[in-house]
Chains A and B, each alone.
Chain A
Amino acid sequence: MSNHAVKQADSAINEMYSHDLPRTPVDAEFLASQEGKIKVSMIGLCGCWGCTLSVLDMDERLLGLLDKVTILRSSLTDIKRIPERCVVGFVEGGVANEENIETLEHFRENCDILISVGACAIWGGVPAMRNQESLSDCLAEAYIGSPTVVLGVIPIIPDHPDIPKLTTKVYPCHDVVKMDYFIPGCPPDGDAILKVLDDLVNGRPVNLPTSINRYD
């Protein structure tokens, strides 16, 4: 019996996803104050969290929206999975592994409007540079032929069942689920994200003007 098989048998009993872990209940009074607000969330897939930082770059301008909007899952709250349906879902990063697919599909099922934020979500971005090479070549470069492999150790490509399997190529989010809007940039400015959110919250057609549309 291989080492992996033993671990798999164990994990059938002990396995628990991070989003199923018990968490401190949110204050009831606070929850009541958020009733009727537009719920917004953001998830990160295969990206660098730069777009998430751009969301934080909305700074105090976000305060003007907070009487209409409440933020569930985001880098501000660290909820693993949205506990209830959201109106607006921002997605950072492209799809590069099985976990990304599952996370994105769950988000799609639970958000009314999904928005690709940044180059990675829109076309794959920097991680998609591996699309011009084969996956096995990339893994060999990283784990077998890398100049930083530990001397005297037989190099292996990690394949533990708990590690999500990489997809053959890196895909834009809209290759996996329907995306409703796109905010280009690497990362987009906080202004661009704010403009789209503000349009949606105020029921205007989403319009990202040429002056703040950037691909880098």
Chain B
Amino acid sequence: MMIQLKIDGKNINARKGEPLVDVALKNDIYIPTLCYTTGQACLGTCRVCSVKVDGVVTAACTVPVAHGMDVEVNEPEVTDMRKALVESLFAEGTHNCPSCEKSGRCDLQAVGYEVGMMVSRFEYRFTPRRRDYASDKILLERDRCIFCQRCVDFVRDEETGQKIFSISGRGANSRIEINAEFANKMTAEQVTRAVNLCPVGTIVEKGVGFNDPIGKRKFEIKSVRERALEGGPK
């Protein structure tokens, strides 16, 4: 069923129940995302796609569109909230872009540019977290994890369907974990998919990094905004 809604004052027709973030993109309105992937189940973990729906702040990936909705995306208060959310992620982990294998092809970094982050308004914490080298093919850089849970939900052992990645602990003690036994059974394609799915540099393929020269890296060729608006693979 087709419905009408308003995004930033623009009248938009959409199919009822479609995720708001996708509806906005189809109408050339970019909303940054980190945990959401079009076509996959909504996780709603990162909140970076926060917008105002009828005056209430909510994550756009979690909202199925309904008739008569009034959505504000580029409104100053909520725009700054999205920026603050990205800044808090940069302060919470240790995101050392200059030394990171994922730099230039990192969603968090690319979204940082889109929200215009120059510095984090929050205190940089430098929480010490141990890396996990146990798996043969994957290095787990825990410093950089933003707990989006993409890998937890979308990367499974092909035989058993069990999770390969999981999160242990609670709150500030949360940790991303890898099941080395399952990880060692991952095919090369599955490893590449997991690396690409990770929006930061937490899941790194051993022996791979810094392949593309500066200036020719993924988001330098085409920004995260352009990629999202095109609707192709992120």
Q: Which residues does A use to contact B, with CB under 8 Å? A: 116, 119, 122-126, 128-129, 131-133, 169, 172, 174-175, 181-184, 186, 208, 210, 213-216
Contacts and interface: CB of A to CB of B under 8 A. Distances in A.
Given A123-B119, A183-B118, A213 B126 contact: no
A102 to B, nearest CB: 22
23 contacts: A116-B119, A119-B97, A122-B118, A122-B119, A123-B124, A126-B98, A128-B124, A132-B128, A169-B126, A182-B119, A184-B119, A186-B98, A210-B113, A210-B114, A210-B223, A213-B116, A214-B113, A215-B95, A216-B98, A216-B100, A216-B103, A216-B104, A216-B214
Interface residues of B, number: 25
A133 B97 contact: no
Contact of B126 (A119, A131, A182, A210): A131
A132 B94 contact: yes
Contacts of B98: 119, 125-126, 186, 215-216
Given A124-B126, A183-B118, A214-B113, 18 more contacts: A119-B97, A122-B118, A123-B120, A124-B124, A129-B96, A169-B126, A181-B118, A184-B119, A210-B114, A213-B113, A213-B118, A215-B95, A215-B98, A215-B103, A216-B97, A216-B100, A216-B109, A216-B214
Interface string B108-139: 01001110101110011011100000000000
Contact of A182 (B90, B96, B104, B118): B118
Contact of B124 (A129, A172, A186, A216): A172
A183 B119 CA distance: 9
Nearest to B119: A182
Contact of B128 (A124, A133, A184): A133
Interface SS of chain B: helix, strand, loop or mixed?
Answer: loop
Interface SS of chain A: helix, strand, loop or mixed?
Answer: mixed
B175 to A, nearest CB: 15
Contacts of A128: 96, 124, 126
Contacts of A119: 96-98
B99 interface: yes
A44 B90 CA distance: 24
B118 A208 contact: yes
Interface in B83-97: 90, 94-97
B143 to A, nearest CB: 8
A119 to B, nearest CB: 6
Contacts of A215: 95, 97-98, 103, 109, 112-113
A81 to B, nearest CB: 26
A172 B121 CA distance: 12
Contacts of B114: 210
A210 B116 contact: yes
A130 to B, nearest CB: 9
Nearest to A206: B118
A19 to B, nearest CB: 29
Contacts of A129: 96, 99
Contacts of B90: 123
Contacts of B120: 123
A95 to B, nearest CB: 13
B119 A126 contact: no
A172 B73 CA distance: 32
B36 to A, nearest CB: 21
Contacts of A126: 96, 98-99
